[in-house]
Amino acid sequence: MSMPSDTPKTSSYQPPSIAGNAEALSPRQREWVGVAEELGRTRFAPRAALHDREASFPMENFDDLRQAGLLALCVPEANGGLDGDFASYALVVAELGRHCGATALSFNMHASACMGAGFIADALDMSAAQRREHERHRAEHFEHIVRDGKLYAQPFSEGGAAAAGKAAWSTLAQKVDGGYIINGRKIFASLSGSADFYGVLCTLDKPGATQRDTLYLAVPADAPGLSIAGEWDPLGMRGTVSRNLLLHDVFVPDGARLLPEGLYHQASKRYPYMFATLSPTYMGIAQAAFDFTVMYLRAELPGMTPVKRRMYPTKQAAVAEMRIKLEQTRALFLQSVREARFDPDEGARQRLYAAHFTVMENANAICTLALRTCGGQAMLRSLPLERLYRDSRCGSLMLPWTAELCMDRLGRECLYDDAERDEFIE
């Protein structure tokens, strides 16, 4: 190692743009990503360690996002929002993920509710009456966001097969006059205790109900019968505060529907990109681990002992390997983000599984390489790498597209046409 001089010099390292070539962004995307970068670097990154240590929700970050107008990123223009599409969403969240994974992942939950009721709903087949009713309902929800800066969460998971897309939700919504009565239990409700509305998936309570009878309902945080329970002391993504949500005879009015009855199922079949909304956060984490490594080896990282480590061929080879992995990940990520569309053909759908899998797995692989390359002092809690490493581990555990289930779907869909089946042979 070279000898310490004094404190680290100001870094001349220019981290690559999360979008690869920033020129490829539209002027509005450049502006939104720029705001996310500025907030992330100057405010969210300095706050990240404390929220991670305390496992507390970074509400100040959401105050900043609210003030910057980004809570309305995916709200349609007609409803006073910024009208961001899937690619804009993904680029902004990847940038946030670079500075605070928990903020990015929580923002994903909020933005997903906006996308579901917004541009995803716009492309779905529904009757004129359903469309009119949906316009009325979503106008209320979007007003909560645009005018009042409210936060939406999306607790779908229940710990059973439903979140993997293999069964109906066990949370039930019974139709009553003017609304629904909801009963059930959700696990891993990110933003628990901090969201203003919880967008829950439940099954319409009727004989023989299946996944087709899924309802997407926004439950106000102060609805009688809603409570939050359970410990939250996880390995990573600690700032998401993803505790359990208990729903006991909770009444919500018809206007709670974020999508008309029966249409969530159509959305899930026709717009698989809605399941890939989790990966942009981890693209940001992968980039952050790479940036950390370069600055650490150059001894330019605030808070480190100013010892250069970049002159060893093993370090240079490891950084090259990391950069190649990062660019491979980014290439697939950007391609799938930019080709997001309704009713993707087989090729685009399979590429999306591959992209999601690659981002989730490579984020952790890049963090692992970063730790091995930077060495022991780099894993101290005074530096962000060990948090990136722990956060990165969470991505491929997230349903419905865990790493395993992506492989499962990809393998099957490569080998079978939609209706094809084989006799099972032992």
Ligand X SMILES: Cc1cc2nc3c(=O)[nH]c(=O)nc-3n(C[C@H](O)[C@H](O)[C@H](O)COP(=O)(O)OP(=O)(O)OC[C@H]3O[C@@H](n4cnc5c(N)ncnc54)[C@H](O)[C@@H]3O)c2cc1C
Q: Judged by CB under 6 A, does residue 154 bind ligand X? A: yes
Q: Judged by CB under 6 A, does residue 398 bind ligand X? A: yes
What's the rounded Cα separation, in Å, for the pair 43 and 335? Answer: 30
| Contact call for residues 252 and 218 (beta carbons, < 8 A) | yes
What's the rounded Cα separation, in Å, for the pair 395 and 243? Answer: 17
Q: Judged by CB under 6 A, does residue 279 bind ligand X? A: no
Q: Which residues 6+ apart lie within 8 Å of 319 measured at CB? A: 293, 294, 297, 373
| Contact call for residues 83 and 77 (beta carbons, < 8 A) | yes
What's the rounded Cα separation, in Å, for the pair 131 and 145? Answer: 21
Q: Which residues 6+ apart lie within 8 Å of 306 measured at CB? A: 4, 5, 6, 7, 8, 9, 299
Of 4, 159, 224, 375, the residue at the interface with ligand X (CB under 6 A) is 159
Diameter over CA atoms, the chain: 76
CB nearer to ligand X: give 162 or 371: 162
Q: Judged by CB under 6 A, does residue 411 bind ligand X? A: no
CB of 71 to ligand X, least distance (A): 17
Q: Judged by CB under 6 A, does residue 168 bind ligand X? A: no
Q: Judged by CB under 6 A, does residue 164 bind ligand X? A: yes
Of 140, 206, 404, 411, the residue at the interface with ligand X (CB under 6 A) is 404
Contacting range for ligand X; rule: CB under 6 A; set: 185-193, 213-221, 315-323, 360-368: 185-193
Q: Judged by CB under 6 A, does residue 190 bind ligand X? A: yes
Of 242, 277, 362, 392, the residue at the interface with ligand X (CB under 6 A) is 242
Q: Judged by CB under 6 A, does residue 402 bind ligand X? A: yes
Amino acid type, 5: S
Structure tokens at 280: 């942009």
Contacting range for ligand X; rule: CB under 6 A; set: 14-22, 66-74, 182-190, 338-346: 182-190
Q: Judged by CB under 6 A, does residue 240 bind ligand X? A: yes
Of 132, 166, 206, 341, the residue at the interface with ligand X (CB under 6 A) is 166
Q: Judged by CB under 6 A, does residue 97 bind ligand X? A: no
Q: How far is CA 294 from CA 139, 287, 316, 370, 404, in A?
A: 47, 11, 10, 9, 31
DSSP secondary structure code for residue 164 in this structure: G
Of 65, 96, 100, 109, the residue at the interface with ligand X (CB under 6 A) is 109
CB of 273 to ligand X, least distance (A): 16
Q: How far is CA 150 from CA 192, 259, 346, in A?
A: 14, 18, 38
Q: Judged by CB under 6 A, does residue 228 bind ligand X? A: no
Letters for 336-375 (x = contact with ligand X by CB under 6 A, - = none) are: ----------------------------------------
Q: Where is 250: in which H helix or E strand?
A: strand 243-253
Paired residues of 203 in beta bridges: 172, 214
How many residues line the site for ligand X (CB under 6 A)?
24
Contacting range for ligand X; rule: CB under 6 A; set: 75-83, 129-137, 157-165, 366-374: 157-165
Of 163, 267, 295, 340, the residue at the interface with ligand X (CB under 6 A) is 163
Q: Judged by CB under 6 A, does residue 111 bind ligand X? A: no
Q: Judged by CB under 6 A, does residue 383 bind ligand X? A: no
Q: Judged by CB under 6 A, does residue 397 bind ligand X? A: yes
Q: Which residues 6+ apart lie within 8 Å of 46 measured at CB? A: none
CB nearer to ligand X: give 60 or 404: 404
Contacting range for ligand X; rule: CB under 6 A; set: 5-13, 123-131, 162-170, 280-288: 162-170
Q: Judged by CB under 6 A, does residue 245 bind ligand X? A: no
Q: How far is CA 252 from CA 2, 97, 179, 403, in A?
A: 65, 33, 6, 35
Structure tokens at 97: 């993920």
What is the β-pairing status of strands 172-176 and 226-229?
unpaired
CB nearer to ligand X: give 186 or 308: 186
What's the rounded Cα separation, in Å, for the pair 278 and 289? Answer: 18
SS3 breakdown of the chain: % helix, strand, coil, rounded to 5?
A: 55, 10, 35
Residues near ligand X (CB under 6 A):
109, 154-157, 159, 161, 163-164, 166, 188-190, 237, 240, 242, 394, 397-399, 402, 404-405, 408
